[in-house]
């Protein structure tokens, strides 16, 4: 059994909730997951001070940790626009991770994540070179490994146009199916979602874990994911104000055999 924690949209900055961050930190420490995945938006405006806070927090989390950037991780404030136009990921690479695309193999899972952001165009975009790299990485996965793909922007638009998600989601989902991807993790919308696509791929979308920028009546939340040889379970852990802790709001279990049959 492999246990993953999936956090997204931490948003260190003006709307960051330090109390929630400490609750989640303790949850992760207590659970000792096999891997903690952070799917972008570490900062609010990409300021150096926000990155310093984000790095200090990440250093407290148990290892291993897997990260990719979000759209808010590019500097966006007066005085930083030239940097956004020329080296938008320099601060992320300095404070969070040396690369914006990453992969890791650990205990029966193979995870590949890509930077889906663009400094000008809203929404998610993957380049041709990123697609080639993703294909090469997944070829390295062991036969029985659960293949997981991580991106910041959502591929399930839920029949809404804002916030902008991944462009051409159906084509991308068909491509990920051809690579044998069983699970997609993303953030961006601040709305928890667990669903299965027509291609058979499970999507676990995380809410904002520790920002007051909650949306559409959804509070703060993160995902706890359990992967077993024959099952994949996504638990949405939501903050309960009265209990002052994160408690399980929902749980969905999917048959991995059924997923693989749909992917084949």
Stretch 169-197: mean pLDDT, rounded? 97
Mean pLDDT for the chain overall: 95
* Helix (H/G/I), strand (E/B), else coil: 236: strand
Element (H, E) at 178: helix 169-178
| Residues contacting 140, CB < 8 A, separation 6+ | 103, 105, 110
- Check pLDDT > 80 for residue 184: yes
Q: How confident is the model at residue 196 (pLDDT cuts 50, 70, 90)?
A: very high
> What pLDDT score does 215 carry?
84
Q: What is the pLDDT of residues 39-92, one digit of tens each?
A: 999 999 999 999 999 999 999 999 999 999 999 999 989 988 899 999 999 999
Give me the sign of the Cα torsion angle 160, 163, 168, 174: negative
**CATH 3.40.50.2020 given to domain 2-263:** no
Give me the phi and psi of 7, to 5 degrees please: -115, 150
State the burial class of residue 151 (Cβ atoms within 10 Å of its Cβ: 0-12, 13-18, 19+): buried
Distances (CA, A) of 79 to 14, 44, 84: 18, 16, 10
Stretch 12-41: mean pLDDT, rounded? 97
| Residues contacting 126, CB < 8 A, separation 6+ | 114, 116, 134, 151, 166, 172
- Check pLDDT > 70 for residue 162: no
Domain boundaries, the chain: 2-263
Element (H, E) at 54: helix 48-58
Q: Residue 69 has which token pair?
A: 């950037």
Q: How far is CA 173 from the centre of its chain?
A: 16
| Residues contacting 90, CB < 8 A, separation 6+ | 83
């Amino acid at each position: 059994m492999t246990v993953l924690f999936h956090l997204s949209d931490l948003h260190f900055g003006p709307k960051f909730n330090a109390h929630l961050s400490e609750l989640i930190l303790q949850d992760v420490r207590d659970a000792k997951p096999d891997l903690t995945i952070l799917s972008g938006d570490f900062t609010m405006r990409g300021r150096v001070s926000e990155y310093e806070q984000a790095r200090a927090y990440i250093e407290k989390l148990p290892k291993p940790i897997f990260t990719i950037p979000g759209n808010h991780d590019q500097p966006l404030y007066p005085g930083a626009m030239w940097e956004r136009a020329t080296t938008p990921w320099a601060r992320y690479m300095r404070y969070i991770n040396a690369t914006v695309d990453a992969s890791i193999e650990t205990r029966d899972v193979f995870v590949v994540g890509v930077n889906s952001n663009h400094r000008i165009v809203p929404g998610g975009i993957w380049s041709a070179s990123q697609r080639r790299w993703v294909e090469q990485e997944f070829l390295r996965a062991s036969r029985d490994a659960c293949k997981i793909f991580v991106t910041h922007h959502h591929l399930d638009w839920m029949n809404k146009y804002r916030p902008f998600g991944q462009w051409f989601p159906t084509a991308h989902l068909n491509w990920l199916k051809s690579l044998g991807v069983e699970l997609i993790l993303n953030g961006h919308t601040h709305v928890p979602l667990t669903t299965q696509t027509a291609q058979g791929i499970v999507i676990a979308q995380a809410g904002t874990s520790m920002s007051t920028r909650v949306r559409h009546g959804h509070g703060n939340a993160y995902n706890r994911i359990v992967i077993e040889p024959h099952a994949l379970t996504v638990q949405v852990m939501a903050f309960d104000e009265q209990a002052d802790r994160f408690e399980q709001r929902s749980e969905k279990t999917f048959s991995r055999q059924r997923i693989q049959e749909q992917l084949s």
